Structure 1
Amino acid sequence: MSDEIASSEGAALHAPVARLLRPLVRLFVARGITFPALTNLLRELYVNVAEYDFALPGKEQTDSRVSLLTGIHRKEVRRLRGAGAPVSAVPAVVSRTSRIIARWLADPRFTDAQGRPLPLPRSGPGDAASFEALVSGITRDLRPRAVLDEWLDRGLAHLDADDRVVLAEAAYVPKGGGEPQLYYFGRNLHDHIAASVANIVGEAPRFLERAVHYDGLSEDLARRLEARAREIAMEALQQANREAHAACQTDPGGNHRWNFGLYVYAEAAPPPAPPGTV
């Protein structure tokens, strides 16, 4: 590929990348991540990606080649190389909570005929459906009472008039900018972007990545469509979760992962930007 072609392809990315980054920059400014701090992070990522994702088969990756790929001086490349490929560890509380909720939403023992999570007594005899049985089927490292106290404190569940544990709507979407929400922020956006990038750089689109969108709507219709889209999305997510949960019962296991995500967004469209702005 000539420098001219490469340059034109890079230029074609400027506008969509600027649009993609704009909400992230809004978050960075709101959370105190300054431009110099972001620059340092990007420099490390450029070196890391060039080192691990663009190594030539059978050849050792060199400082010079990483510098050529990234435009970062060899002295900086030498300083930053060798950090290892980034690893995104799942926080223990996120892993445990998501697995318990997934089972509550998927296992027929803990759902009604319509697939909705049943209110569960705290405990019950034998194999009877209960919160204790639900938690014990996922982990025996923690007492179900400790999990329940944590969930009640976090608003993930509440007790009804019959002292049964009821899964709260807050359990579906972590809130408040805490560790669980930030973990899924990074994971889900990564996977969505990774699917889109794979479809661009691959020989043919591999991943499903589609959206339904309408412009020029009244505020009332936009709100109604948003509400209805939430219902449709939750139905799809719950169905996918039930099928995946059932399939996992007989799967031998391996080193692959799968993510099925949905998003709904609506806003008052800003006026057209003047030429030359993003």
Structure 2
Amino acid sequence: MSETPDPAPSPDGAALHGPVARLLRPLVRLLVQRGITFPALTNLLRELYVNVAEYDFALPGKEQTDSRVSLLTGIHRKEVRRLRGAGAPVSPVPATVSRTSRIVARWLAAPDFTDGGGRPLPLPRTAEGGAPSFETLVAGVTKDVRPRAVLDEWLDRGMAVLDPEGRVQLLESAYLPRGGGEPQLYYFGRNLHDHLAAAVENVAGPSPRFFERAVHYDGLSEALAGRLEERARAIAMDALKQANAEAHAACADDPGGRHRWNFGIYIFREEVEAKPAAAQEVKPAAAPEPEAERGRAP
């Protein structure tokens, strides 16, 4: 499958090489781990390039042609003709993911199911007169699955337990799929897409549109890095709970529409490989780096 020769990259394009290589490295590690070879990734990228050029770079009032898509992507016209109209790969929401996340969100936000501090209440399996219970919690989200089936699933997965009084207690304050299965991979694609889309919009637009910032410190001990990670988890969880509660309350009066909203937080730490002595910057002994310079605020 031949492709048109690559033109010399523009200065803007060349400036992206380093950042793109850095952001793709963890992804390539996962692809190699999961057995996705370079040729397989190339086929996927070829489809995506054609799809993006066809729909995102169409000129107003003009039909997008194979020649223009080929010019934009560097992919031969024969390949463009074959791939056009195929549609970009999508990641549909697994039914279990959608249902579980909505039930957990309601348990963490609705006043009937939380205490004064916003913590999820232990719920009786059933209750008289429509009083708060696990049954009414699930029924408020879906009528397609019996609450008992949801409870059995959650007990089996360790998301909930029964206390000595037989009430259902939520063990996790968020839906955290694990094991690399379909639910976790769905959120992997969704969350990274939205974070990257926000960052791209900020770089490509005339001014930053989305809030996308981080606090980062280098040169830390393992103990301090661990303490900062633990504290950041607590701060992040509080922020997510507050955002969820406010969004849940606001949805009650919203007429509905075609928009979606995502508020995400990430935390990361790692041990950085030491640079060779010859590559390290030599600093005057009389002028050590100020301690405050190790950090970077938002």
Instruction: Confirm or deny that 1:63 pairs with 2:90.
Output: no
Moved more, 159-168 or 12-21: 159-168
Correspondences of 1:242-257 after superposition (within 5 Å): 242-257=245-260
**Structure 2 letter corresponding to 1:51:** E
Written as runs of structure 1 = structure 2, the 5 A alignment for 1:129-278 is 129-169=132-172, 171-272=174-275
2:39 to 36, 39, 55: 36
Residues 123, 167 of structure 2: 8 Å contact kept:
yes
Shift of the alpha carbon at 1:270? 2.1
Number of the residue aligned with 2:287: none
* Identical aligned residues as a percent: 76
Partner of 1:109: 112
How far apart are the structure 2 equivalents of 1:188 and 1:239? 19
Moved more, 124-133 or 184-193: 124-133
Aligned 8 A contact 1:155 1:170 in 2: no
Residue 99, structure 1, aligned to residue 95, structure 2: no
Unaligned runs of 5+ in 2: 1-6, 280-298
Normalised to the residue count of structure 2, the TM-score between the two structures is 0.88
Contact 2:91/2:189 (8 A) holds in 1: no
Provide the secondary structure at the position in 2 that maps to 1:169: coil
Task: Tell me by how many angstroms 1:271 deviates.
Answer: 2.9
Larger Rg: 2
Deviation at 1:126, TM superposition (A): 1.6
| Counterpart pick for 2:16 among 10, 13, 16 | 13
Q: Deviations over 1:135-170 (max 9, x none)?
A: 000011111001111111122211122211111228
**2:61 partner amino acid:** G
Matches of 1:271 and 1:25 in 2, distance apart?
23
1:262/1:171 Cα in 2 relative to 1: closer, same or farther (>3 Å)?
Answer: closer
Is the contact made by 2:124 and 2:133 (CA closer than 8 Å) also made in structure 1?
A: yes
Superposition CA RMSD, Å:
1.6
Q: In 1, Cα distance between the equivalents of 2:180 and 2:163?
A: 28
Distance across 1 between alignment mates of 2:211 and 2:123 = 37
Using the TM superposition, give the Cα deviation of residue 113 of structure 1 relative to its aligned residue in structure 2, in angstroms: 0.8
For residues 108-150 of structure 1, give each alpha carbon's deviation from its aligned partner in whole angstroms, at most 9, with x where no partner exists: 1101111011111111112211100100000111110011111
TM-score by length of 1: 0.94
Q: Which SS does the other structure have where 1:126 is aligned? A: helix
Q: Residue 79 of structure 1 corresponds to which residue in structure 2?
A: 82
State the aligned residue count. Answer: 272
The answer for unaligned runs of 5 or more in structure 1 is none
Question: What is the distance in 1 between the residues matched to 2:73 and 2:179?
Answer: 36
